[in-house]
Structure 1
Amino acid sequence: MKTDRLVGILTYLLQTDRATMPELAARFEVSRRTIQRDVDALCRAGIPLVSTRGGGGGVAIMDGYKLDRRLLSPGELQGILAGLRGLDSVSKTSSAEQFLQKVSARGEAPFSPDGDLVIDLASFYKDSLSEKIELLRRAIAQQELVRFHYYYGKGEADKRVEPYSLVFKWSDWYLFGFCTQRQDFRLYKLGRLWALTPAGEGFVPRPVPAEKRRFGSQMRDDYLVTALYCPAAKYRLVEERGPDSFSVAEDGRLLARWGFAGPEEALAWFLSFGDGAEVIDPPQMRERVREEAEKIAARHR
């Protein structure tokens, strides 16, 4: 809805110094002309927006502006605050406190910062994660290439990437960017990305195909494996696929037939159970698990 988008644009501008029309159009998945009409509508509503042209230009809210809390419901205010605190948990910013200042004006009842929703996006390597996020956000804003060393399942490589956005998905942080070596858009997990530095070279943002923005849409899970799990592993099955994703066999074990991205992903999954899982089908995966188990046993003799 247009009203939701207007509030979204206003909230986004409150937590950033400024944003370009292309940036807002991509963020809200509308045309630049639509964003321009939205900006005009906000100005007519009395929001003091300032537009500047040229390098480093864009749309910004005039310093000192405070958001009229009546535009948002208490639930929406708490949701925005929880989201900002989530971002603060992995960055060196204080967006939540700045937001509280912007929605707290003289003569109004104080807005309680405490809510029933807590979002903490940090991890056990918070310090290095925060540094990566801050550096990448600057590089994205300044349209500057970055370099880093990346670790894959089958090796490692030095990368040179055009950064486009930071993505929190599948319970982890990723960089979405254009790999200059592969000449394609890629997702890079921040936990595998090290020795991150600016490349000292700018780039002109290229159009991002819509399908590339649908993260995970090309990930397949058509490698089907049937297995029996010990009852003690029930919590893991529920966590992974839900309580209706398996049945109880006659011997009390849990029977499930799931799809995986491929044999390697399936193998890692079953090995993580030790002797708590038995592959039934396909025979090739059952043999792979047996071979790996024998290798592990031989190494520990």
Structure 2
Amino acid sequence: MKLERLLSIIIKLLNNEVLSASRLAEEFQVSSRTIYRDIEAICAAGIPVVSYQGTNGGFGIIEGYKFDKSLMDSYDISNLLTVLGSLSSIFEDHEIEHTTDKLKLLDTSGGNKSLLIDLKSHGKEPNSLTGLRKAIREKEVVRFDYVSNKNEFTSREIEPVQLLYKFRNWYLYGYCRERRNYREFRVSRMMHITPTQETFLQNHEIKHDSTYSYPDLEMFEDVVIWVGPDSLVKGLDYFQNASKIMNNDGSMTFTLSVYQPLHANWLISILLGFGSGVKIIEPVEMQLILKNEARKIIEIYGDV
């Protein structure tokens, strides 16, 4: 513990001009006397720490002291700092923060970031992710209710192994005691996540490669969608990988390849969200599907 504290103090002093003993003591939950002894140990190790007097006084590294920055170039370090910074904002992980502090020592970009990644969400996922990551690290069984792709509710007990971020969503990978096999669960569909305080001993293998199996290409069809001028922003956001044709009236025609489009409920849900700002051109069978769904919506509000 003392060695970790000493290393952390060195890193902080290298990244800051002056830090007071009281500030360091408060951060590391030790007495000021302990900090003074730590500073003496750091000086004895050859790190040139100097003391500054006055209102804004404290400890700092002597001006001109150089740290070896030849391990990685500035481009590598800047990218790592960007990714770690985004993860730290989600998990509030002090170890990630310490790693970030270490990398800042090697950063020669001057803080100019050409890349920004923001993984934060306004929904429930950040708190869930923090709890799940804690359960993974402590090898604690978690219990939750889950809604499957078929809208079926089940209760699961999982020995959590890994958090995955893919397809713009977070997933929990772990050993499902009910299925007696490894499964992935989309975090947004997990409810009432509860740590059981039961730990497991088995060292599960971490998933290194995606096991997602892509469907047969012959099952894909082109879906042609007309999007009105007032819905272009939504169309570009949802169908960013589609081919696009701008029409003279300000509308746009999107063509995207969809697996079994007549059974693609996810696409129907998205299209309904456009209201009257969208129209299916092909396949014509999807027009009837959307029409029937619209009728069902009207029936719900039949008494209005």
- TM score, norm. by length of structure 2: 0.62
| CA-CA distance at 1:283 after TM superposition | 3.7
CA distance in 2, matches of 1:141, 1:208: 13
- The 5 A counterparts of 1:1-301 are 68-95=68-95, 97-103=97-103, 112=110, 115-125=113-123, 128-153=124-149, 154-199=151-196, 200-202=198-200, 204-206=202-204, 213-214=209-210, 216-218=212-214, 222=220, 224-242=222-240, 245-248=243-246, 253-261=251-259, 262-300=263-301, 301=304
Distance 1:230-1:179 versus aligned 2 partners, 3 A rule: same
CA contact 1:166–1:176 (8 Å) conserved in 2: yes
Instruction: Return the offset for 1:185.
Output: 3.6
Aligned-pair identity in percent equals: 23
Deviation at 1:248, TM superposition (A): 4.3
The structure with the largest alpha-carbon Rg is 2
TM norm structure 1: 0.63
Cα distance in 2 for partners of 1:298, 1:100 equals: 56
**For residues 171 and 243 of structure 1, do their structure 2 counterparts lie closer, same or farther at Cα, with a shift above 3 Å needed?**
closer
Q: Using the alignment, how far apart are the partners of 1:109 and 1:222 within structure 2?
A: 47
Structure 2: how far apart are the matches of 1:266 and 1:201? Answer: 41
Amino acid at match of 1:137: R
Q: Deviations over 1:159-218 (max 9, x none)?
A: 1223221112233322122333334443322222222223414152455787xx326443
Equivalent pair of 1:68/1:103 in contact (CA under 8 Å): no
Alpha-carbon shift at residue 251 of structure 1 (Å)? 6.5
Q: CA separation in 2, counterparts of 1:231 and 1:163?
A: 46
2:85 and 2:215 mapped to 1: Cα distance? Answer: 31
Q: Where in structure 2 are there 5+ consecutive unaligned residues?
A: 1-66
Contact 1:81 1:113 in 2 (8 A): no
Partner of 1:168: helix, strand, or coil? strand
The alpha-carbon distance between structure 1 residues 215 and 229, as it changes in their structure 2 partners (threshold 3 A), is farther
Using the alignment, how far apart are the partners of 2:107 and 2:299 within structure 1? 70
Q: SS of the residue aligned with 1:246?
A: strand
Q: In structure 1, what residue type is equivalent to 2:185?
A: Y
Secondary structure of the structure 2 residue equivalent to 1:186: strand
Question: Alpha-carbon deviation of 1:229?
Answer: 2.0
Q: In structure 2, how many angstroms separate the alpha carbons of the residues matched to 1:157 and 1:280?
A: 38
Structure 1, unaligned runs of 5 or more? 1-66
- 2:82 and 2:156 map into 1 onto residues whose CA distance is 34
- Cα distance in structure 2, aligned partners of 1:114 and 1:230: 40
